[in-house]
Chains A and B, each alone.
Chain A
Amino acid sequence: MKKSFVFGVAAIVAGALQVVSAADIAGKVTLKGTPPAEKEIEPLMKDPTCGKLHKEPVKTRFYVTGTDNGLANTFVYIKSGLPAGQKFTPKGDAMLDQVGCIYEPYVSGVMVDQKIKIKNSDPVLHNVHATPTANAEFNFAQPVQNQVNEKSFSKPEVMVRFKCDVHPWMFAYVGVLEHPFFAVTDKDGKFTIPNLPAGKYTLEAKHMKAGTVTKEITVGDKNEPINLELSVPQ
């Protein structure tokens, strides 16, 4: 009885310590410089099936910026600093959808061996062609609306491109990591990486056009917002 009480108290203390020693880190990625203007995806609008799925012209998503030059679709992740050999288990499945002949989301992240549910929500056939360099390439057909296939990647890779060869304007990028400490910036360039254990890390932000930027961060009890800046080369 006395032994189990001691163990119980120890477990509660350990849990409390865990909560105190992990924190959410938040920040913003901004873009410096003037990017090329986004273009209307004319082949999509001219396609007899895909064009009917949109009421407004669809534009490219190379440099999507929001409030105060916030840069969307930037993959932010812990590049190094986690204890070696620490294993993380994916929670839940990721989703990649084809809607209106566009991949959604454009940029996303998954963990190694995490299931990615790839769905065709469109009334038209697509093929799903992933072109990784570290992982195995695959290409399969999704001819039926609402068809869902599951895939996963066995090795970390930043970033893996997905494309549809039937509709070449369709492409998206997925970052694959061995841990869950990543995020994708929203329309205003903001991101949050939850429950990062205390410690020193290298944080990297990767944008498919603007490139990458890294920053050394220290996660403690109180954490200031992290500001990262990428530039359009001049």
Chain B
Amino acid sequence: MNGSVNKVNKALRNYAIFTAVYTLYLICIGGLVTSHGVGMSVPDWPTTYGYNMFRFPVSGWIAGVYYEHTHRLVASVLGVLTAILAIWLWVDETKGKDRRNGVIGLVVILLIAGGIMGIRTTAVFVGIAAFGVAGALFGLYRQSQADGVRWLGFAALSAVIAQGVLGGLRVTLNMDAIGIFHATIAQLFFLLLVAIGLFQSGWWKCLPVSAAVDGRFRMLFVGTTLLIVVQLMIAATMRHQHAGLAIPDFPLAYGKLWPATDDASLHFYNAHRQEMAGENPITRFQIILQMIHRMVALVILLAVAWCAGQTRKVLGWTNPLAKLSALWLGLIVLQVFLGAATIWTGKAADVATSHVAIGSLSLITGGVLSLVSFRLSSRRDEKNLAPAASSSFISKSVTSSR
């Protein structure tokens, strides 16, 4: 281990941030696939209509194939970007034998995963996905005991391998349930990359001790962020029902505060619905799920509004935590509007996908707030502190908690 973990490698930081932004781009592309209902438009994987994915003729990039195929290509690039990030982090934070062994290990993992992918059987794909998930969890565990962020890089590489294979399995096994995991892991992967970029920044490394945050804020940030994760999972489940809009109006639901879900009402809803894409019939479960989604959204809105108000009151408006909380509130308000707009536009693909993207950014903002609030508390215990930051962060009104 060396002291380079406290130095800022600007090129690496910028690259990590670029990879995180690229991940958001991929989430949007993937969102368009589901919003257009074309996730199964390419029946084979990892080939595309029998072609090597990278050699599929542009003339075939039509209609639904365009969205699904470009999604796969963009995802492949993210895999390469993540591999480079993982290796670069290891090179940056280690030296000598540690560096050599780490880089060789990462390259071997890539070669093995790539080679095994040539054995195109379900058992192999499931095995790769399982090892990817296990690797990600192992990386997170090792990071909890290590300096720097190279183990987060390892976790990200493992996760992106698992994510790619899960996307393929969803197609080859015709299993919508895998699509729900695929969507959820995408959001968590995005958060992981943002965290890596954050940890590489000089701002993070120089967070001052005196700006420690009250424990109540930490719990509020973390609790609300976890609630957003739950909301994203509910949303992913809704979108992968492939039933279109279970409730076609907002803020009411079939004209009521709580919609009727008896058999006769369901028959009425389905009989009068004119779905353009042969969607599955609306079910009681889907209606209730959307109502839960609406209620959780309200709870999140109230929780984030509370965060924004309390941080401003206690920490002061100039405190970055207060500013970030205000941004968080703005994102949630926008997200509520986009959710309503998704319904009002009959689930227009661009509106629904924007709703996905702002949901991602809401998660990231909450994640950053949580990480920063915990960092501020932990700094008091560190023996080798970097020089304190300028007054842009420190608020004199902050009171340390013990």
How many angstroms between the C-alpha atoms of A124 and B49 in the bound complex? 13
B residues in contact with A41, CB < 8 Å: 276
Interface segment, one of A70-78, A162-170, A177-185: A162-170
When each residue 179-213 of chain B gets 1 if its CB lies under 8 Å from chain A and 0 otherwise, what string results? Answer: 00000000000000000000000000000000000
Q: Pick the contact of A165 from B39, B44, B268 — CB < 8 Å?
A: B39
Total A-B contacts with CB atoms under 8 angstroms apart: 82
Given contacts A137-B174, A166-B62, A167-B64, are A39 and B274 in contact (CB under 8 A)?
A: yes
Instruction: Find the A residue at minimum CB distance from B48.
Output: A141
Asked whether, in the complex, the Cβ of B276 is within 8 Å of the Cβ of A168, the reply is: yes
- Given the interface pairs A43-B276, A137-B174, the reply to whether A166 lies near B38 with Cβ below 8 Å is yes
**Cβ of B64 and Cβ of A139 under 8 Å apart?**
no
Q: Quick one: which of A127, A138, A141, A170 contacts B278, CB cutoff 8 A?
A: A170
- Across the interface, which residues of B come within 8 angstroms of A163, CB to CB? 277-278
Q: Does A143 count as interface, using CB distance less than 8 angstroms?
A: yes
**Given A125-B62, A166-B38, CB of A209 within 8 Å of CB of B43:** no
Interface size on B, residues (CB 8 A): 28
Q: How far is B41's CA from A125's CA once the two chains are assembled, in angstroms? A: 10
Residue of B nearest to A168 (CB): B277
- Chain B 232-248 interface mask (CB, 8 Å, partner A; 1/0): 00000000000000000
Contact across chains for A127 and B274 when beta carbons are under 8 A apart: no
25 contacts between A and B (CB under 8 A): A62-B274, A124-B62, A125-B62, A127-B43, A141-B43, A141-B44, A143-B60, A161-B278, A163-B278, A165-B37, A165-B64, A166-B41, A166-B63, A166-B64, A168-B37, A168-B277, A168-B278, A169-B277, A169-B278, A171-B277, A171-B278, A209-B271, A232-B271, A233-B264, A233-B271
Question: Which residues of A are at the interface with B, using a C-beta cutoff of 8 A?
Answer: 36, 39, 41, 43, 47-50, 60, 62, 124-125, 127, 129, 137-141, 143, 161, 163-171, 209-211, 232-233
Known: A39-B274, A168-B277. 14 other contacts (CB 8 A): A36-B272, A43-B276, A125-B60, A129-B40, A140-B43, A141-B42, A141-B43, A161-B278, A165-B41, A166-B62, A167-B63, A169-B276, A171-B278, A232-B271
